[in-house]
């Protein structure tokens, strides 16, 4: 699995997340409550609400692509308040991910990745992917999924995993 494969995995998974949000909106409508109530749901008083889980998942994907593919990440201010706006946030992130090609990641393994929160220290590109981008991306999408499941949205493992490129015979 190379770095481009990882970005494509993030792309696919954000599309899955977008589909969970659609199911959540349909669930809210069926139950006659505002879907945006779910947008503010969280699993603990000091845990991120759904809005911030979605924003964070998008940012993990966006920054991984930018750092490893050598492009400037576009600014996506965390201003979303509604499901409709979160859908747009996911769309903006996907549009950025779609600008990358496999060749952008040719030197990704050994790039020095120095995000501001490391305070001047850096990680090798390969280590950034394995120790930061992948665990954190899947953390935030799974927390979003968990918030929806905890609030009664009917999601299952195939919603989480999405389509699989299987072969027969």
Residues contributing to the site for its own copies (CB under 8 A) = 1-3, 5-6, 8-9, 12-13, 43-44, 47, 112, 118, 120-124, 126-127, 129-132, 134-136, 138-139, 142-143, 145-146, 149-150, 152, 157, 160-162, 164-168
Instruction: Choose between 66 and 85: whose C-beta lies nearer to its own copies.
Output: 66
Burial 123-154 (b: 16+ CB within 10 A, else e): bebeebbeebbbebbeebbbbbbebbbebebe
Nearest distance in Å: CB 124, its own copies = 8
Closest CA to 56 of 117, 133, 148, 146: 133
Instruction: Choose between 1 and 30: whose C-beta lies nearer to its own copies.
Output: 1
Instruction: Choose between 85 and 151: whose C-beta lies nearer to its own copies.
Output: 151
Nearest distance in Å: CB 122, its own copies = 5
SS3 assignment for 142-163: HHHHHHHHHCCCCCCHHHHHCC
* Alpha-carbon gap, residue 78 to 56, rounded angstroms: 9
Instruction: Choose between 74 and 135: whose C-beta lies nearer to its own copies.
Output: 135
């Amino acid at each position: 699995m190379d770095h481009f494969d990882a970005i494509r995995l993030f792309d696919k998974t954000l599309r899955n997340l977008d589909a969970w949000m659609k199911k959540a909106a349909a669930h809210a409508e069926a139950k006659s409550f505002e879907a945006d109530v779910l947008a503010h749901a969280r699993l603990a008083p000091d845990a991120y609400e759904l809005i911030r889980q979605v924003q964070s998942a998008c940012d993990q994907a966006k920054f991984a692509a930018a750092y490893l593919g050598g492009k400037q990440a576009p600014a996506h201010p965390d201003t979303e308040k509604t499901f409709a706006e979160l859908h747009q946030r996911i769309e903006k992130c996907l549009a950025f991910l779609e600008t990358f090609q496999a060749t952008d990641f040719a030197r990704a393994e050994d790039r020095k990745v120095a995000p501001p929160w490391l305070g001047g220290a850096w990680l090798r590109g390969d280590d950034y992917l394995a120790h930061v981008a992948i665990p954190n991306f899947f953390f935030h999408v799974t927390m979003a999924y968990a918030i929806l499941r905890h609030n009664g949205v009917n999601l299952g493992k195939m919603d989480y995993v999405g389509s699989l490129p299987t072969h027969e015979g």
